[in-house]
């Protein structure tokens, strides 16, 4: 790894610590601008780091020597930035691997599934295919947490944050840590009509 790449990865690590402590300022913050980090690269780092704040059931953990798999479906800039974010990373003593998947291939080897832009029918099919399976679903499109995606990233007032659909995670037997839940914005609950 080159010195420049090491500096960039260190800068991303510092930024990510700030992300997990509070939303990251994208405008008016000199750190991301100095480091030359794009919003897509920050989102990729965050997606990769979510794996450290989720507990998978024993049967869903990779076997010895097998990788922890981050999958991407649909169109998204993360198709280019997630491989860099995952390169050389270890999750629970397993190397990470990024795969690009589609509904025909299935999602059996995925531990994390990032859902990029999909047609509405494809989104419904994808969510149905992973429902109840120990696959952490992540997206960055408004309204997808309400639709059943477990973690949805958003950019608001120049900051990256995320919301969590705890019911979807519980249905898939994934345990989200208290630290992750503290940092998430709660889903807006509908007020029942009286």
Residue whose C-alpha is closest to residue 40's, from 89, 84, 90: 84
For the chain of 194 residues, list the mean pLDDT of each consecutive stretch of 10.
46 46 36 64 94 93 91 92 92 92 88 90 91 96 93 89 95 95 76 41
CA atoms within 13 A on the CB side of 11: 17
CATH architecture designation of domain 3-183: 3-Layer(aba) Sandwich (3.40)
Domain boundaries, the chain: 3-183
Tell me how crowded residue 142 is: count the other CB atoms within 10 A of its CB.
Answer: 9
- What is the per-residue pLDDT for 194? 41
106: its two tokens: 């299935």
Q: Which residues contact 194 (CB under 8 A, 6 or more apart)?
A: none
Question: What's the CA gap between 97 and 152, in Å, rounded?
Answer: 21
CA atoms within 13 A on the CB side of 100: 11
Tell me how crowded residue 74 is: count the other CB atoms within 10 A of its CB.
Answer: 20
- What is the per-residue pLDDT for 33? 46
- Please, which residues bridge with residue 185 across strands? 163
- What is the per-residue pLDDT for 38? 87
- What is the per-residue pLDDT for 171? 96
Q: Which residues contact 192 (CB under 8 A, 6 or more apart)?
A: none
Beta strand residue intervals within 51-148, DSSP E: 54-55, 68-73, 90-91, 94-100, 112-115, 136-139
Q: Strand 112-115 relative to strand 136-139: parallel, antiparallel, unpaired?
A: parallel
39-50 vs 78-86: helix crossing angle, rounded to 10: 50
């Amino acid at each position: 790894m080159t010195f420049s790449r090491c500096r960039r990865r260190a800068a991303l690590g510092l930024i990510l610590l700030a992300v997990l402590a509070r939303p990251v300022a994208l405008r008016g913050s000199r750190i991301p601008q100095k480091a030359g980090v794009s919003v897509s690269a920050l989102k990729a780092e965050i997606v990769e780091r979510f794996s450290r704040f989720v507990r998978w059931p024993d049967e869903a953990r990779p076997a010895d020597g097998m990788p922890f798999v981050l999958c991407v479906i649909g169109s998204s800039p993360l198709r280019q930035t997630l491989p860099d974010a995952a390169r050389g990373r270890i999750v629970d003593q397993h190397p990470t691997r990024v795969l690009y998947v589609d509904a025909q291939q299935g999602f059996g080897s995925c531990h994390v599934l990032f859902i990029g832009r999909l047609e509405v029918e494809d989104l419904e099919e994808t969510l149905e295919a992973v429902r109840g399976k120990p696959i952490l679903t992540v997206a960055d499109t408004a309204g997808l947490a309400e639709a059943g995606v477990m973690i949805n990233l958003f950019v608001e007032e120049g900051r990256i944050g995320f919301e969590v659909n705890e019911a979807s995670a519980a249905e898939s037997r994934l345990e989200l840590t208290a630290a992750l839940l503290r940092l998430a914005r709660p889903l807006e609950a509908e007020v029942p009509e009286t």
